[in-house]
């Protein structure tokens, strides 16, 4: 699955029916429950329009009037669904996670094993580069409300679990030699490096560096330390 397919599928995922856990996530972050389908439709339109805006403009700079104009609704309709703009942005984070999670997980489950990590790193770097503005706003909100980041944490756990499933599906694998915690930690390393590089740009390598995705892949592979050199790009036969 290439970058174009990942991007092209995003809107279709967002327009699909919301799963029950997403409704739970929305309630958890303070969204006023929608009792009727018409109310949910407008609620979802406000969230989607806000997500589009948040990918272009820092959310601190966006007014409720701007959001309502984009969604073609009144401020009264806004406040009957969201108590404030921060709650709306937490809902935006829920929708963003619902968009990216299934796409990345599908890549891990469907790609040839040897291609998973190179394509996943490329997709992740591209996603962070295209959505810098959104992620910076999301990091800021999550500092004040740790719960707001939970949908992305769940995505990371699910992505690691999908990769572990693929690892254990390899016929040549000696399962006793696999450290599952190292695989989980490797995904934590991946997200930690992406987040830190976006926020702090510590250098010498940044998201825009041509070698960044490859170096990130090598770090993930080294952390996993899987005993399957032939199937893992970047891992030599002697484990070096």
When divided into structural domains, the chain yields a total of 1
Is 238 inside any structural domain?
Answer: no
Is 21 inside any structural domain?
Answer: yes
Is 7 inside any structural domain?
Answer: yes
What is the DSSP annotation of 24-62?
HHHHHTTPPPP-SHHHHHHHHHHHHHHHHHHTTS-GGG-
Is 229 inside any structural domain?
Answer: no
What is the reported pTM? Answer: 0.85
Is 239 inside any structural domain?
Answer: no
Full domain range(s) for residue 84: 3-224
Is 173 inside any structural domain?
Answer: yes
pLDDT category of residue 227 using cuts at 50, 70 and 90: confident
Alpha-carbon span 114 to 230, nearest angstrom: 8
Going from the C-alpha of 99 to that of each of 3, 94, 173, 193, 194, the distances in angstroms are 14, 9, 33, 21, 18
Poorest-pLDDT segment among 14-28, 72-86, 192-206: 14-28
Is 113 inside any structural domain?
Answer: yes
What CATH number does the domain containing 60 carry?
Answer: 1.10.357.10
Is 163 inside any structural domain?
Answer: yes
Three-class DSSP category at 87? helix
Q: Which candidate, 200, 190, 52, 57, places its Cα nearest to that of 125?
A: 190
Task: Return the structure tokens found at 179.
Answer: 């450290």
Query: Are 205 and 211 spatial neighbours (Cβ–Cβ below 8 Å)?
Result: yes
Q: Does position 207 have pLDDT exceeding 70, yes or no? A: yes
Higher pLDDT, 240 or 142: 142
């Amino acid at each position: 699955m290439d970058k174009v397919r990942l991007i092209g599928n995003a809107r279709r995922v967002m327009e699909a029916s919301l799963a029950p856990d997403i409704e739970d996530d929305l309630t958890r972050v303070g969204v006023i429950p929608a009792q009727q389908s018409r109310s949910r439709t407008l609620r979802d339109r406000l969230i989607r329009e806000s997500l589009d805006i948040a990918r272009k403009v820092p959310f601190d700079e966006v007014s409720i009037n701007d959001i309502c104009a984009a969604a073609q609704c009144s401020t009264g309709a806004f406040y009957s669904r969201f108590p404030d703009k921060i709650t709306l942005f937490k809902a935006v984070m829920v929708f963003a996670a619902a968009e990216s999670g299934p796409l990345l997980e599908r890549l891990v489950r469907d790609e040839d094993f040897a291609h998973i990590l190179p394509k996943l790193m490329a997709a992740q770097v591209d996603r962070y580069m295209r959505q810098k503005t959104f992620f910076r706003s999301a990091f800021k909100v999550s500092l004040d409300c740790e719960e707001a980041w939970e949908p992305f944490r769940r995505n990371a756990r699910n992505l690691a679990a999908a990769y572990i499933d693929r690892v254990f599906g390899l016929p040549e694998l000696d399962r006793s030699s696999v450290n599952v915690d190292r695989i989980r930690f490797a995904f934590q390393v991946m997200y930690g490096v992406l987040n830190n590089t976006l926020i702090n740009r510590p250098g010498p390598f940044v998201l825009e560096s041509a070698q960044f995705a490859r170096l990130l892949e090598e770090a993930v592979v080294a952390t996993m330390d899987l005993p399957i050199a032939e199937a893992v790009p970047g891992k030599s036969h002697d484990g070096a």
